[in-house]
Amino acid sequence: MALQGKRATISDIAKRAGVSSATVSRVMSNPSYPVKPALRKRVLDAASQLNYKPNIFSQMLKGSSSREIGVIIPSITNPFYAQLVSAVERECLERGYTPIFCFSQNSPELETRHLEMLERKQVEGTLLSCVHLNDAFLADISARTPAFVLFDQTYPGYEGDSVSFDFFGGGCLATKYLLECGHRDIAFISGPIDRYSRRQYFDGYKHALKDAGLRFNNRRVVLFNDDIENASSEYDYHCGQELASLLLSSEYLPDAIVAVNDMIAIGAIRKLEQEGVHVPTDISVVGFDNIAISSLVSPALTTIDQPAVETGRLATRILLDRIENKPVEQGQIILQPSLVERESVRKVHRKVRR
């Protein structure tokens, strides 16, 4: 392999093989065009001698597709997104695409910056877990991008392709389960309810309470409002500890807690245990996400499963199908929550509902 300073071009090969550059191009990338076997061999030999690698920018300029997609998520240290990203990558790999992952850190400015970068790079499509709450902005972007799928964090009333999750149903399910287990005084703990998903989850909680004929007690909603844009597990964990402290300082403890995510639940449980309040004996907790750790902590966390892999896979499929102009059976998917029963909830008295 001759590695002179510069990389060999198609005309270097042409010269060496004694043919025109058109012929070289046809040998290299148009298998259907007839070229005499002898010539073809000469070209192939010359190419390998010169260690020829086509210049991708030139090919792109001539209009071939880059097979790159952009993927924007809030944070990769959040295990939910790590799993999601893993699924996206696998799907892309199978279909010959390269994903470019970007992390918005829950910052609209960063999200915009990444979106602009992806547009500059002329990716063929974008997958976005969106932290913008701006309708016009989204319309703008999705019009400009060849293909565009919202996932995880979607936008209420968004008309385009999306793979979202029934957060409302999730909030309901978690709360109803606690009610069924005989708990009545159920608190809700969360970081800032900024995102749509959290609001929905909270609404689900309230709905389930109301549905059970219980009045909603605002003092049982404990929020940790901190506008540090930080989506790390550690942060959520500490947030959970903080929230548990707040709860511990109230007049009396609730029967149970609905936490807005697993990490917060785990942080809260840890703090409670530290203060001598045992889970689930003294208080029950249900989380949300079903990240890997949740089954590994003690007590293992009862939680609502949010299917990260499924979300990533479906969203990627829709996006790639759009890019390739394949028919998309369903452009708007809403994944349903399911309960994962483990050890953090105590059944006070059986109260089976039909």
Partner DNA sequence: TATGCAATAGAAAACGATTACTATATTCGC
Partner DNA sequence: GCGAATATAGTAATCGTTTTCTATTGCATA
Site string for a copy of itself, 47-66 (x = CB under 8 A): ------xxxxxx-xx-----
Place of tokens 């005309």: 11
Q: Which does 296 bind (CB under 5 to 8 A by kind): a copy of itself, DNA, none?
A: a copy of itself
Detail the DSSP E strand segments found in 104-161. Answer: 125-128, 148-151
C-alpha distance from residue 127 to each of 89, 121, 133, 181, 281 (Å): 12, 15, 16, 39, 43
C-alpha distance from residue 267 to each of 177, 230, 241, 247, 285 (Å): 21, 16, 5, 13, 11
146 binds DNA (CB under 7 A): no
Among 44, 49, 54, 206, binds DNA (CB under 7 A): 54
Query: How many helices (H) and strands (E) would you count in the chain?
Result: 12, 12
CA 88 to chain centre: 9
User: Interface residues for a copy of itself in 3-42 (CB under 8 A)?
Assistant: 3
21 binds DNA (CB under 7 A): yes
Choose the stretch contacting a copy of itself; rule: CB under 8 A; options: 9-17, 167-175, 177-185, 267-275. 267-275
121 binds a copy of itself (CB under 8 A): yes
User: Interface residues for a copy of itself in 163-222 (CB under 8 A)?
Assistant: none
Among 49, 59, 107, 232, binds DNA (CB under 7 A): 59
The dihedral over CA atoms of 299, 303, 307, 308, expressed in degrees to the nearest 10, equals -60
Nearest to 75 by CA among 270, 300, 228, 285: 228
CA distance 329 to 92: 19
Q: Which does 30 bind (CB under 5 to 8 A by kind): DNA, a copy of itself, none?
A: DNA
Contact criterion met (CB below 8 Å) for 240 and 265:
yes
Among 23, 83, 126, 164, binds a copy of itself (CB under 8 A): 83
Minimum distance from CB of 23 to DNA (Å)? 4
Residue 70: which H helix or E strand, with range? strand 68-73
CA distance 249 to 59: 66
52 binds DNA (CB under 7 A): yes
The tokens describing 244, both together, are 């548990």
Q: Which does 237 bind (CB under 5 to 8 A by kind): a copy of itself, DNA, none?
A: a copy of itself
Among 41, 48, 51, 55, binds DNA (CB under 7 A): 55
Interaction site with DNA (CB under 7 A):
6, 9-11, 18-26, 28-30, 33-36, 39, 52-55, 58-59, 61-64
Binding residues for a copy of itself, rule: CB under 8 A, are 3, 53-58, 60-61, 75-77, 79, 82-83, 85-86, 89, 98, 100-103, 117, 119-122, 143-144, 232-234, 237, 266-267, 270, 273, 292-293, 296-298
